[in-house]
């Protein structure tokens, strides 16, 4: 027969820390701590296998499970010298979920099992504290009624509020024992009324139903949504941990807390966390009471604090990572309730990883895999410009770093709606709950009025790498009326706020943002990443400013320099419009002469900065309409500039409008029908290159032809390019090694890459456009259905964010394969936005690209992602989960 | 050493009829006729190999060629008992091009070689006809000067015109011998003036230069253009035929003519052609003099006519196909100058093929391969409705059947321009020349003032299957001023004319057109086609009217019934717009209820007609913007209909506008976000099917989901379809066997066809959209560059016309392969417009599709193309060329 239950009692555990899949994260941690001799309330873990068997059996306990539970319970009773359901010396139990992957707050938990009208008397006798006992009892009835029987929490809250009014008190803990006792019967009546069944007095029934409820919570809505969001398989299931209760709310020699073994925001070594005297653990996590720093424990019970410090150090050395530890002190005895790898901010992740290498705890390889590439992105997040004068209207806790600026909204739904329309939003909530997950994901920043550094909002925001300020207590929120008040200001929905996640400041309006300084830890880690990666990393940079950022962030060249972005400057747009719109060659030539001089200066500036590194310049690729004048004023201005009658110009503009500009007269199509444009650009590139080469700058231009669908397009243009190049090089008397290649951004180009590689000296996959054409999906128009698709799991990811490996990826794979068949030395890169997305980078590594190119600020992300890809290819073990 | 020259003299030929690639079509025909003992002027063929060697050697005669020419010339001299260049008994030669594939009029020819001031005297002595001799001489100088030395023809014409004025005559043949003689010196002076060199008096020099000129004509502009148009390889080269001249212009016992062995317009058996007494052959072909019917020869020289009839019959039986024969009668002696497979109209092709099977000349298989599928399209071309009252303003010769209606243009360039803008044009010319090829190709119909049934315009138009009326002698054309006059009417450029190619009528304005009756020959041939093909043929039919045409043309089902086409009817569009635009479900439901009833009636009508055959119905696939009201009036009308304020509706419409509607919120994306639309359609389909099934009609509905890119889209919709289907079938108490499948019209769908086939019971490749997305090419916008691409050979074909096998075809191939891997019995078809294009049909056959679906009028074309594909797959021999 299968074994479903694994005990951990008094230093002996049946399970092991490595059995996370079987025991869940919490269960594995409890087993491991028990085996280490750390004090843990005795208990047992019901395995995920039991959970799966429960579902497989049609939501019934599989054969033998209940018997195993009872046997394990007997051993817990023996260890505690108490009996579950014994009116004289009752053992109370907690029943907690614990999936193999952390799903904070998503699954259910029931505490204080075993209480009924009889056993509560035993608890009074044992604790000598009737108020504590009745408080535990009414909490249990509430929690059981809500979690197991499905009665809304608010209904219980109403009874509690009424009791407080009757007693004339404000806070829960001011209610006397009698008042608490008087709540029990109405709460049970409420359960009967809402569910038609009685609250189960029998402790065994309480246990059986609670275990089943925790299993069932695997499929509650928020858990399903969370798994979708985090790509956690449905089949995993959750374990259930049944433990003897210990109480932090027995009096002022008790308490509960959460600590990190290092500072999760900065990575600094030393205990960091929170403690609440005379409280149950749930009070801290739920953010209902704002706790004190953990140093409060040192003052109150120095010997307990010292023990905690020692235990934490031991756990960290044992698990070789920073731990997030929950503990309870019951009458000066320290119990560890949970340990797991602690979530941390990006700077902390970097610092901890690097420090631990120096401490000899982990290897460089491990350190690299400990830092998620997305963490690096957070490091590079903007912060509020320290130089700027800003209007600070309030302060909260700096729960997750970065800075964010956006429209204020007061509900998750509104956040999703406005985000879908392209707005940056700041989600402002009393406190967040798991129901808010999608809104938090959509928001640029999160601000809460309540809760501490380990509240839901803080934990989730750090996980998402999102700027978050919590516990801004002056903030009063009027959700229904859609406004809030802070520092004497009224902020309505849609008004702009800026959050500073580094300091906790709340700033009125849009504050100027700037980027963070990257410290020595970062530089060291990046150095290791560069040593381990095979994939090159370039940047997409259109301006000297971008080029400078690229070098600063370690790009090894420019993979995409979009010339059209140079064309929108106010002092150029007229000439550019004339070039596009003119229907006779003379007019076009006149415009081209003007633009050529400007382009040459653009290229010189960029080449100079990129001295010694390749620069891929894409020739003009405008969806035509982007260059057309739209308003009557624009047309009039252009008509005056071109000395043409406005009505004629209007007709011409009208004739150039396209039904589907994305699939229209753009890219090399324009280069072919108006060859003088590309010739001008090539001349500008090569004149710039020659002039700098003479000055000793090493220029490596790669001329890239966009939107090729047929090799013949490239052949025709390449002939022109070579002809101009020959002329320029002769005129200038300098040799510049240049390449001519193409974007592969249309399915046909990928499929016929073998033919195209006859002409192309390099390929760069334009995966943005390739995604559009492969899916037949206009990015501009997808807003009306793509969010629906993602929400309903019709597409697993937004394909514009994560490269679609099955479809678009197959085109890339085929393109590389066929291109290299024709030209084995073909240089192949990717320059879509996927080039900076870690999973997409891993894909690029696997299929053998030479480099990825991404926005300058994503370059470090890509460098680390490339190192991850290389390390994971060496030994395909998964990166350790960053959460327990 | 290579042999370059092949003689054919007095019944002995060194070459063979089968050596077309080596000897060219004309040379092979001459060799074959010689070997058959048919009288042919003796001569020799310089092979295409010599031509290629000439180019390879840098436009120089390859070693040994000239020596071989001289040796062969010697044998011709012996046979004729004349000597080339002999002042006393001069042999005159013709030098004619002759490529392996007919390129009528594209390559050069020089006649009457060997004449100079000395030999002309010998010709006078031999013919006793000084006028004839000087006429030949001045023709030779003109032709040589023009073709070999590049002096414009018009310059010679001017001299001729001046001579006629001086002589006071109107026609060339009225010029007396002296006047002709007097032309020689000025013509030679003209050559010296224009070229700086003397006219070569030496006959050997004349021969050498003429051969070189014919070689060189392979690369003249019009030949290059023609080869592009007809996809003839550049490397082929032309042969050169050197023959003793025979003269049809020696007097009234001489003449020249062209005959077909059967009527090339109708296919009727018996000689059909033209004859011109006392004329050179070029007079007929060039359309300069309008010839008489060949029966004129019977009257003038009955014994020669009888011999011609016998020879023609012999040739036809020998070549087993209808022949197009050129002949010259010199002093009552019949010489055959050329035989080749005759071009024919579509009805003639069908009739000849079927007749020849009945005559035992060819097999059914050969008959099928003799008829090009595109010929069938001509059969189905419209004709002028015989019932209609029309304004006939003139008449010409009915040179190529069909009827056409369009804007009049007077130059090929203008024809191309207007055609590119989507206009149907009628090209009106004095006479056409090879320079007009592109204009003729662009025109819907061609009208000429001069020329006969074998003139350039007539031959080319028949080849193109284009309506053509020639020799409309009343027509006076003012090309420069862009108007013409006919029957007292002035027709300006852009005015509308209708041509009736069946009767030769020229009709003012737009005449109503109708389709031809298809005769018994056609039915018989189609029967053979059906017996030989494997590929099914369905039709794209959206209406009962289309469905009826489909059955009439032999479709085996409907492969694509587009429901949105049903939605544009004036009485529905309001409800449809409401359905699309409504943003609340109640409003949408109201619209849907209305539409459902209409849709059901649509489907019933179509199902009834298609009794027993499958009908694939595509659910709504609108690029959203097609359904939006555009003008202010439309918006106001809809606002009134929907009882909404117009400004709110305008905002809503604005919000629904898309940047790239082709890639927008359409197809299954709309079906998913607004599921009630598809549910309504499915209900309408199945209720219609159930009601008819109860009436004994066999209904086989196939429900097709458009624009699927990910299997999950199909899965979600299929669940809805099945749910509705279950309800309807239960309500109706009838069983209807229905399928659910998908369009494969996005690259991603093709690439992930393996996954999609898990859900799809059939695939239909939508190759129109697949072409758009594979190429990244909007059909609506391609007009600004695609014509340029085709003209410059950047794309070999318009991919919207001929399926691009390399790119789009690969997606189809991969889609079929992967789909069938998952579901071996998957039914797979194609429903893009390529389904009726013969080369694309052949591709569909090769990759194993089950059927093609095309517009009803293309169904017979597809049936024959499918038979061709099957026959060619059996034995991959090429279909015989239809031209010699």
Return the minimum-mean-pLDDT range out of A774-778, A832-836, B405-409.
Answer: A832-836
Least Cα separation, residue A464 to chain B (angstroms): 27
Least Cα separation, residue B780 to chain A (angstroms): 6
How far apart, in whole angstroms, are the C-alpha atoms of residue B853 and residue B558? 7
Residue pLDDT, tens place only, A386-395: 678 899 999 9
Q: In B503-631, which ranges are continuous DSSP H helix?
A: 520-532, 544-552, 573-581, 585-609
- The answer to whether the CB atoms of B672 and A748 lie below 8 A apart is no
Rg over alpha carbons for chain A, rounded to the nearest Å, is 32
Q: Using H for helix, E for strand and C for coil, what is the string for B229-270?
A: HHCCCCCCCCEEEEEECCCCCCCCCCEEEEEEEECCCCCCEE
Residue pLDDT, tens place only, A517-544: 678 999 999 999 999 999 999 999 988 9
- Mean pLDDT score of chain B, rounded to an integer? 90
Residues in chain A: 884
How far apart, in whole angstroms, are the C-alpha atoms of residue B367 and residue A883? 76
Return the minimum-mean-pLDDT range out of A152-161, A662-671, B396-405, B494-503.
Answer: B396-405
Q: How confident is the model at residue A879 (pLDDT cuts 50, 70, 90)?
A: very low
How far apart, in whole angstroms, are the C-alpha atoms of residue B50 and residue A805? 55
Least Cα separation, residue A676 to chain B (angstroms): 15
C-beta separation of B342 from B261 below 8 A: yes
> Residue B286: its pLDDT value, please?
56
Contacts of B785 in chain A (CB under 8 A): 665, 669-670, 672-673
CB atoms within 10 A of CB A260: 26
Nearest-CA residue of chain A relative to B794?
A712
Write the burial class of residue B144 (CB in 10 Å: 0-12 exposed, 13-18 middle, 19+ buried). buried
> Residue B450: its pLDDT value, please?
81
Selection from B338, B346, B339, B326 nearest residue B267 by Cα: B346
C-beta separation of A25 from A884 below 8 A: yes
> Residue A287: its pLDDT value, please?
55
Section B816-841 average pLDDT: 95
With 80 as the cut, is the pLDDT of residue A145 above it? yes
Return the minimum-mean-pLDDT range out of A646-655, B488-497, B525-534.
Answer: A646-655
Residue pLDDT, tens place only, B642-652: 888 888 888 78
- The answer to whether the CB atoms of A751 and B811 lie below 8 A apart is yes
Measured CA to CA in angstroms, residue A666 lies from A326, A572, A656 at distances of 60, 19, 11
> Residue B557: its pLDDT value, please?
98
Helices B808-822 & B767-775 angle (0-180, nearest 10):
120
In the DSSP assignment, the letter for residue A517 is P
Section B644-661 average pLDDT: 84
Write the burial class of residue A840 (CB in 10 Å: 0-12 exposed, 13-18 middle, 19+ buried). buried
> Residue B878: its pLDDT value, please?
46
> Residue B498: its pLDDT value, please?
96
Helices B632-642 & B573-581 angle (0-180, nearest 10):
80
Hey, of B747, B770, B788, B809, which one would you mutate to test binding to chain A, going by the most A CBs within 10 A of its CB? B747
How far apart, in whole angstroms, are the C-alpha atoms of residue A859 and residue A556? 9
Residue pLDDT, tens place only, B870-883: 999 886 544 444 33
How far apart, in whole angstroms, are the C-alpha atoms of residue A775 and residue A797? 13
Contacts of B789 in chain A (CB under 8 A): 672
Q: Parallel, antiparallel, or unpaired for β A403-409 and B467-470?
A: unpaired
Residue pLDDT, tens place only, A167-201: 999 888 789 999 999 999 999 999 999 999 999 99
With 90 as the cut, is the pLDDT of residue A569 above it? no
> Residue B548: its pLDDT value, please?
93
Q: Which DSSP string do the residues of B263-294 spell out, in sequence order?
A: -TTT--EEEEEEEEET--HHHHHTTSSPPEET
How far apart, in whole angstroms, are the C-alpha atoms of residue B274 and residue B852? 43
Structure token digits, residue A8: 């951990």
- Number of C-alpha atoms within 13 angstroms, CB side, residue A599? 30
Residue pLDDT, tens place only, B373-423: 977 877 777 778 767 889 999 998 888 778 999 999 999 889 988 988 888
Q: In A176-324, which ranges are continuous DSSP H helix?
A: 177-195, 203-217, 221-230, 281-285, 295-300, 302-319
> Residue A882: its pLDDT value, please?
38
How far apart, in whole angstroms, are the C-alpha atoms of residue A710 and residue B790? 12
Residue pLDDT, tens place only, A589-605: 888 888 899 899 999 99
Q: In B388-473, which ranges are continuous DSSP H helix?
A: 412-420, 437-442, 456-464
With 60 as the cut, is the pLDDT of residue B285 above it? no
Return the minimum-mean-pLDDT range out of A259-273, A755-769, B734-748.
Answer: A259-273
Least Cα separation, residue A775 to chain B (angstroms): 6
Section A343-355 average pLDDT: 89
How far apart, in whole angstroms, are the C-alpha atoms of residue A210 and residue A111? 10
Please identify which of the residues A831, A844, A854, A868 carries the catalytic annotation. A831
Residue pLDDT, tens place only, A633-686: 888 888 888 888 888 888 788 778 888 999 999 999 999 998 999 999 999 999
Among A100-114, A752-766, B161-175, top mean pLDDT goes to: A752-766
Write the burial class of residue A476 (CB in 10 Å: 0-12 exposed, 13-18 middle, 19+ buried). exposed
Nearest-CA residue of chain A relative to B713?
A794
Q: How confident is the model at residue B85 (pLDDT cuts 50, 70, 90)?
A: very high
Q: Parallel, antiparallel, or unpaired for β A90-91 and A83-84?
A: parallel
> Residue B718: its pLDDT value, please?
97
Query: What number of C-beta contacts closer than 8 Å exist between A and B?
Result: 168
With 70 as the cut, is the pLDDT of residue B370 above it? yes
Write the burial class of residue B171 (CB in 10 Å: 0-12 exposed, 13-18 middle, 19+ buried). exposed
Residue pLDDT, tens place only, A363-394: 999 999 999 887 787 777 777 876 788 999 99
Number of helices and strands (H, E) in chain A?
34, 34
Q: Tell how far CA B304 is from the center of its chain.
A: 36
Q: Which residues of A135-148 are buried (b: 16+ CB within 10 A; e: fewer)?
A: bbbbbbbbbbbbbb
Q: How confident is the model at residue B884 (pLDDT cuts 50, 70, 90)?
A: very low
- Mean pLDDT score of chain A, rounded to an integer? 90
- The answer to whether the CB atoms of B784 and A665 lie below 8 A apart is yes
How far apart, in whole angstroms, are the C-alpha atoms of residue B849 and residue B843? 9
With 80 as the cut, is the pLDDT of residue A493 above it? yes
Measured CA to CA in angstroms, residue A528 lies from A522, A532, A877 at distances of 10, 6, 19
Structure token digits, residue A265: 């925001």
Selection from A663, A778, A581 nearest residue B782 by Cα: A663
Structure token digits, residue B233: 């390889």
Among A669-678, A759-768, B229-238, top mean pLDDT goes to: A759-768
The helix (H) or strand (E) run that includes residue B44 is: strand B43-46
Could you say which of B747, B772, B777 has the minimum Cβ distance to residue A774? Answer: B747
Section B503-524 average pLDDT: 86
Q: Please, which contacts does A190-199 make with residues 24 or more away whose CB atoms are closer than 8 Å? A: A190/A145, A190/A151, A190/A155, A190/A156, A190/A159, A191/A141, A191/A145, A191/A149, A191/A151, A194/A149, A194/A150, A194/A151, A194/A152, A194/A155, A195/A149, A195/A150, A195/A151, A197/A149, A199/A141, A199/A144, A199/A145, A199/A149
Q: What are phi and psi of A196, to 5 degrees?
A: 75, 10
Which residues neighbour B406 within 8 Å (Cβ) at sequence distance 6 or greater? B423, B424, B425, B426, B443, B444, B445, B496, B497
With 70 as the cut, is the pLDDT of residue B310 above it? yes
Q: What are phi and psi of A184, to 5 degrees?
A: -60, -50
Hey, of A660, A713, A754, which one would you mutate to test binding to chain B, going by the most B CBs within 10 A of its CB? A660
Selection from A615, A514, A538, A466 nearest residue A855 by Cα: A538
Selection from B424, B384, B140 nearest residue B282 by Cα: B140
The helix (H) or strand (E) run that includes residue B13 is: strand B12-13
Number of helices and strands (H, E) in chain B?
34, 34
- Number of C-alpha atoms within 13 angstroms, CB side, residue B498? 22
Contacts of A659 in chain B (CB under 8 A): 661-662, 778, 780-781
Q: Which residues of B501-537 are buried (b: 16+ CB within 10 A; e: fewer)?
A: bbbbbbbbeebebeebebeebbebbbebbeebbebbb
Q: Tell how far CA A833 is from the center of its chain.
A: 17
With 80 as the cut, is the pLDDT of residue B453 above it? no
Active site residue A831: yes
Hey, of A776, A804, A811, which one would you mutate to test binding to chain B, going by the most B CBs within 10 A of its CB? A776
Contacts of B662 in chain A (CB under 8 A): 659-660, 663, 776, 778
C-beta separation of B620 from B678 below 8 A: yes
How far apart, in whole angstroms, are the C-alpha atoms of residue B375 and residue A487? 85
Q: How confident is the model at residue A737 (pLDDT cuts 50, 70, 90)?
A: very high
Could you say which of A707, A788, A806 has the minimum Cβ distance to residue B752? Answer: A806
Beta strand extents in A232-391 (DSSP E only)? 239-244, 255-262, 269-277, 292-293, 323-330, 333-341, 382-384
Section B476-501 average pLDDT: 92
Return the minimum-mean-pLDDT range out of A230-234, B183-187, B249-253, B792-796.
Answer: A230-234
- The answer to whether the CB atoms of B777 and A661 lie below 8 A apart is no
Return the minimum-mean-pLDDT range out of A448-452, A566-570, B7-11, B875-879.
Answer: B875-879
Section B487-508 average pLDDT: 92
> Residue B517: its pLDDT value, please?
63
C-beta separation of A223 from A106 below 8 A: yes
Task: Starting at the earlier edge strand, list the strands of the sheet with B403-409.
Answer: B392-395, B505-508, B496-500, B403-409, B425-429, B445-448, B467-470, B397-400
Least Cα separation, residue B771 to chain A (angstroms): 9
Q: pLDDT higher for B246 or B573?
A: B246
Structure token digits, residue A682: 């090539």
> Residue A284: its pLDDT value, please?
61
Section B23-35 average pLDDT: 94
Structure token digits, residue A16: 């092991």
């Amino acid at each position: 027969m299968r074994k479903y239950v694994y005990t951990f009692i008094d230093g002996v555990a049946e399970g092991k820390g490595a059995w996370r899949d079987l025991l869940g994260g919490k269960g594995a941690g409890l087993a491991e701590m028990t085996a280490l001799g750390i004090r843990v309330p005795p208990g047992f873990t019901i395995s995920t296998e039991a959970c799966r068997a429960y579902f497989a059996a049609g939501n019934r306990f599989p054969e033998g499970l209940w018997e195993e539970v009872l046997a394990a319970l007997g051993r817990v009773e023996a260890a505690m010298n108490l009996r579950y359901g014994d009116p004289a010396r009752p053992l109370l139990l907690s029943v907690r979920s614990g999936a193999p992957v952390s799903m904070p707050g998503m699954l259910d938990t029931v505490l204080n099992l075993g209480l009924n009208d009889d056993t509560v008397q035993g608890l009074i006798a044992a604790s000598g504290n009737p108020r504590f006992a009745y408080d535990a009892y009414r909490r249990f009835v509430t929690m059981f009624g809500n979690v197991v029987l499905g009665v809304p929490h608010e209904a219980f809250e109403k009874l509690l509020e009424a009791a407080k009014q009757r007693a004339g008190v404000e806070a829960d803990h001011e209610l006397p024992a009698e008042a608490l006792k008087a709540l029990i019967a109405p709460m049970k009546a409420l359960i009967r009324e809402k569910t038609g069944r009685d609250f189960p007095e029998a402790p065994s029934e309480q246990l059986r139903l609670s275990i089943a409820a925790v299993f069932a919570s695997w499929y509650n809505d928020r858990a399903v949504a969370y798994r979708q969001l985090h790509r956690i398989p449905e089949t995993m299931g959750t374990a259930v941990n049944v433990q003897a209760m210990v109480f932090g709310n027995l009096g002022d020699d008790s308490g509960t807390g959460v600590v990190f073994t290092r500072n999760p925001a900065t990575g600094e070594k030393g205990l960091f966390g929170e403690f609440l005297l005379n409280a149950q653990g749930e009070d801290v996590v739920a953010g209902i009471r704002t706790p004190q720093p953990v140093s409060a424990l040192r003052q109150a019970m120095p010997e307990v604090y010292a023990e905690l410090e020692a235990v934490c150090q031991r756990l960290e050395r044992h698990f070789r990572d920073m731990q997030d530890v929950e503990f309870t002190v019951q009458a000066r005895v320290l119990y560890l309730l949970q340990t797991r790898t602690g979530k941390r901010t990006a700077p902390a992740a970097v610092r901890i990883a690097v420090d631990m290498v120096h401490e000899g705890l982990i290897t460089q390889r491990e350190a690299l895999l400990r830092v998620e590439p997305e963490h690096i992105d957070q490091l590079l997040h903007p912060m509020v410009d320290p130089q700027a004068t800003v209007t600070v209207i309030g302060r909260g806790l700096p729960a997750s770093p970065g800075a964010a600026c956006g429209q204020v909204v007061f509900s998750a739904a509104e956040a999703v709606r406005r985000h879908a329309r392209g707005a940056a939003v700041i989600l402002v909530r009393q406190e967040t709950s798991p129901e808010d997950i999608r809104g938090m994901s959509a928001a640029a920043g999160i601000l809460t009025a309540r809760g501490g550094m380990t509240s839901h909002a803080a934990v989730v925001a750090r996980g998402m790498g999102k700027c978050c300020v919590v516990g801004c207590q002056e903030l009063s929120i009027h959700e229904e009326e859609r406004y809030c008040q802070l520092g004497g200001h009224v902020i309505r929905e849609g008004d702009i706020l800026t959050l500073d996640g580094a300091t906790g400041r709340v700033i009125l309006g849009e504050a100027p943002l700037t980027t963070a300084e990257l410290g020595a830890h970062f530089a060291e880690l990046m150095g290791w990443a560069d040593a381990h990666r095979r994939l090159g990393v370039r940047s997409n940079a259109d301006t000297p400013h971008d080029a400078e950022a690229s070098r600063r962030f370690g790009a090894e060249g420019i993979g995409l320099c979009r010339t059209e972005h140079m064309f929108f400057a106010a002092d150029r747009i007229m000439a550019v419009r004339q070039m596009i719109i003119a229907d006779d060659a003379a007019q076009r030539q006149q415009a081209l002469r003007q633009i050529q001089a400007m382009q040459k200066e653009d290229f010189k500036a960029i080449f100079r900065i990129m001295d010694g590194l390749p620069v891929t310049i894409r020739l003009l690729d405008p969806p035509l309409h982007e260059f057309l004048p739209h308003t009557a004023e624009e047309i009039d201005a252009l008509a005056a500039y071109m000395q043409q009658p406005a009505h004629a110009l209007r007709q011409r503009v009208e004739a150039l409008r396209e039904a589907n500009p994305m699939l229209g007269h753009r890219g090399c199509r324009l280069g072919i029908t108006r060859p003088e444009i590309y010739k001008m650009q090539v001349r500008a590139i090569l004149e710039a290159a020659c002039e700098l080469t003479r000055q000793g700058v090493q220029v490596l231009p790669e001329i890239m032809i966009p939107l090729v669908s047929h090799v013949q397009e490239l052949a025709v243009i390449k002939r022109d390019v070579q002809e101009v190049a020959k002329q320029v090089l002769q005129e200038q008397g300098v040799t510049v090694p240049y390449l001519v290649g193409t974007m592969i951004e249309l399915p046909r180009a990928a499929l016929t890459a073998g033919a195209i590689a006859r002409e192309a000296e390099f390929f760069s996959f334009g995966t943005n456009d390739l995604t559009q054409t492969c899916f037949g999906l206009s990015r501009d128009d997808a807003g009306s259905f793509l969010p629906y698709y993602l929400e309903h799991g019709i597409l697993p990811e937004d394909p514009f964010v994560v490269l679609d490996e099955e479809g678009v990826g197959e085109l890339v794979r085929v393109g590389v394969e066929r291109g290299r068949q024709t030209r084995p030395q073909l240089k192949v890169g990717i320059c879509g936005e996927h080039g900076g997305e870690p999973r997409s980078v891993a894909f690029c590594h696997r299929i053998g690209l030479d480099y990825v190119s991404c926005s300058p600020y994503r370059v470090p992300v890509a460098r680390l992602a490339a190192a991850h890809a290389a390390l994971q290819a060496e030994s395909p073990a998964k990166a350790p989960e960053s959460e327990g």
